[in-house]
Structure 1
Amino acid sequence: MKTLIALLLALAAPVAMAQSGAGAPNAPVADLDLERYAGQWHEIAHLPMFFQRQCVDRITATYTRQPDGTIEVRNACRTKDGDMDESTGVARPVDGAPGALQVRFAPGFLSWLPMVWADYWVIDLDPEYRWAVVGGPSRKYLWVLSREPSMERAQFEQITARARAKGYPVDRLVMAAPLR
């Protein structure tokens, strides 16, 4: 009986590690230059999120540095009826974690409530800032972003393989832009 239990535990360990994301650490990048990160990004793919259910394509995120050190976040997408949907929020850096931000889309008068701020971690980043991958500690959301409106398939596969190793369910990604 002890041998059977040991065998079952040995077989279950790799599955549990894969499901927990133990293959690679899930953490924000160690260095993020917000000046270089600013500007427009095109979404290539995302994990399903309720607030993006109306988006069909042309999904962008534009980050603009503000004098007070925060970042204006402007998300836009084209909806099924052809209209553009847009939302504006604010991001603030997290002290001691250059690749981590907190983002809020709730009205400013609610900014004192911790629950209106969401973790926004840049978890993978091209050294030339041509693409970025955004996630968070829960692994429930993930966005693959690019400076261009499409991405090379090989690059996308490399990016998603690293995200998978960090425990993200990349098999559930919704494609928002074409791959080349």
Structure 2
Amino acid sequence: MTALLNTVERVELDRYLGTWFEISRLPLKYEDEGARDITATYSLNEDGSVRVDNRCIDDAGLPAQALGEARPVDDTGARLTVSFLPEYLRWIPFTKGDYWVIRLAEDYSVSLVGTPDRRNLWLLARDHDLPQAVRSDYLNTAREQGFDLSHLITPRQSGRVVEMGDQ
């Protein structure tokens, strides 16, 4: 049996909000392998949930967007569930994914996020150009936690947030 995935002790969600650039990830069935300029922007909804706005330029060179909602599982803010289904279907239990913050820079500039089954992993940063030494250090944390990084994807990043209508 796989050991429980360790998370950071606490995430101050108000500090975590804002735009993050995807530096690396494990392959996802719902995201093109050749997608570029991938960002995730988090903002607070009136009900206390977090609005998730993922954007990229897809394999065809077109802007793509996925809107979702995240909710903390407990009062630490380190474990959340995320759903990208339409709002009227989000009540269905098996339609949510896990979003666990495994490591977070003290200044909230770099975040390593994964799922407890270790199938999904994201290395996110506030800046699109993360120094290689920092990247390697965070990915080593993922390895230590049992993630297989043999298929890791590092998307191209230009440093811009995709506007819907961009091409």
> Could you report, residue by residue, the CA deviation over 1:69-88 in whole angstroms, capped at 9, with x for unpaired residues?
10000001112332110010
Q: Following TM superposition, by how much is the alpha carbon of 1:107 offset from its aligned partner in structure 2, in angstroms?
A: 1.1
* Gapped regions of structure 2 (runs ≥ 5): 158-167
Q: How many residues align?
A: 157
- Structure 1 match to 2:86: 107
- Structure 2 match to 1:123: 102
Change (3 A) 1:171 1:54: closer
Counterpart of 1:109 in structure 2: which amino acid? Y
Q: Following TM superposition, by how much is the alpha carbon of 1:175 offset from its aligned partner in structure 2, in angstroms?
A: 0.7
Q: Following TM superposition, by how much is the alpha carbon of 1:56 offset from its aligned partner in structure 2, in angstroms?
A: 2.1
Change (3 A) 1:71 1:55: farther
Q: Does 1:146 align with 2:125?
A: yes
More helix per residue: 1 or 2? 1
Q: Following TM superposition, by how much is the alpha carbon of 1:170 offset from its aligned partner in structure 2, in angstroms?
A: 1.8
- Structure 2 match to 1:6: none
2:11 and 2:76 in contact (8 A); partners too: no
Aligned pairs (5 A) from 1:13-52: 26-52=5-31
Q: Following TM superposition, by how much is the alpha carbon of 1:54 offset from its aligned partner in structure 2, in angstroms?
A: 5.7
Equivalents in 2 of 1:97, 1:111: separation in Å? 22
**RMSD across aligned positions (CA):** 1.6
* Gapped regions of structure 1 (runs ≥ 5): 1-19
Output the TM-score relative to the length of structure 1.
0.82
Aligned pairs (5 A) from 1:38-77: 38-53=17-32, 55-77=34-56
Counterpart of 1:53 in structure 2: which amino acid? D
Equivalents in 2 of 1:124, 1:61: separation in Å? 17
> Could you report, residue by residue, the CA deviation over 1:73-120 in whole angstroms, capped at 9, with x for unpaired residues?
000111233211001000011124420010000111112211111111
Equivalents in 2 of 1:81, 1:117: separation in Å? 28
Q: Which has the larger radius of gyration?
A: 1
Equivalents in 1 of 2:62, 2:33: separation in Å? 10
- Structure 2 match to 1:169: 148
* % identical equivalent positions: 35
Equivalents in 1 of 2:122, 2:11: separation in Å? 17
Equivalents in 2 of 1:67, 1:28: separation in Å? 26
Change (3 A) 1:27 1:39: same
Equivalents in 1 of 2:20, 2:34: separation in Å? 16
Equivalents in 2 of 1:96, 1:81: separation in Å? 41
- Structure 2 match to 1:156: 135
Output the TM-score relative to the length of structure 2.
0.88
* Structure 1 stretches of at least 4 aligned residues deviating more than 3 Å after TM superposition: none
Counterpart of 2:144 in structure 1: which amino acid? A
